[in-house]
Chain A
């Protein structure tokens, strides 16, 4: 952990990441023609969202200490995602995840 307030060493990394991010957000609005990309490319781009976000969640809850684990965290995240999808409310899903993980940890002593 650092207590450094003003280090700027990683700001260039934010800028580099921001360049591609802004390009993705702006190009279709500034340079029309994105709709003329091949359908397969558009489809691939559309599918990146669920794949990457799911990958982040799965890797963080199913892999702990270098081993495959199905613990309270995985159950809680799955339950929260299911409730969030069912009710169309992401915030509710997150609350459910917190409540489930706390309950399971208290019950299992995890």
Chain B
């Protein structure tokens, strides 16, 4: 075996090991999404549509939550887009490594570029110094497959599942969101965005309407972080 092949093999093994925790999260959180979607009045087909077409965990939960309080569709769509705007940066970060790939390949890989896939892919690229197309597909499907299968399972098993609160699973989603949020804090601007986003969301939920909370937190928080960034610049 050549050195390069050994390096690729080693990197792929590490990728698979790193992905195991992601599989577990995707199964648990995807299953809870299926259950939540059913509780929120979505049909099985609609729940599958959210998980396969929209395919963005936090945005899916937010959309179902907003539907439950009769938020107008344009507001939900705007929130989903805002919520997923961060993917621009993921894509921009990976883009320099994909310029020699075909347009179809880039379009396909982009479809699977979730938070977790980005994390796995960038770590894999860092180990190899280049993109490994098979590794990138693996990183994407590591989320897509368990997420969609567990959405179906969660929806179908919904009636049979115990009340999530009785086994503590009602905090899993908030815990995942908080964990992901804190994981994205790399500097003071991000910390300010997080803290202001949290506090303004809580204030909006109390003073205006729960459906406005995430939107307001998502707009005001980055503005506060940006103010810090611009002052420093």
Contacts and interface: CB of A to CB of B under 8 A. Distances in A.
A80 B59 contact: no
Contacts of A62: 202, 205
Interface string A1-30: 110111111110111111011101111111
A13 B60 CA distance: 11
A23 B63 CA distance: 18
A56 interface: yes
B217 A47 contact: no
Interface in A69-110: 73, 76-78, 80-82, 84-85, 89-91, 93-94, 97-99, 101-102, 105
| Binding site secondary structure of chain B | helix
B28 to A, nearest CB: 8
17 contacts: A10-B42, A13-B77, A16-B73, A16-B77, A17-B81, A25-B88, A29-B107, A45-B85, A50-B194, A54-B201, A57-B181, A58-B198, A63-B213, A66-B206, A80-B179, A81-B182, A97-B174
Interface of A: 1-2, 4-11, 13-18, 20-22, 24-30, 32, 34-35, 39-40, 42-63, 66-68, 73, 76-78, 80-82, 84-85, 89-91, 93-94, 97-99, 101-102, 105
Interface of B: 21, 24-25, 28, 38-39, 41-46, 49-50, 53-56, 58-59, 61-63, 67, 73, 76-77, 80-92, 94-95, 98-99, 103, 106-107, 109-111, 113, 115, 158, 167-185, 189-191, 193-202, 204-206, 210, 213-214, 216-218, 220-223, 225-226, 229-230, 233
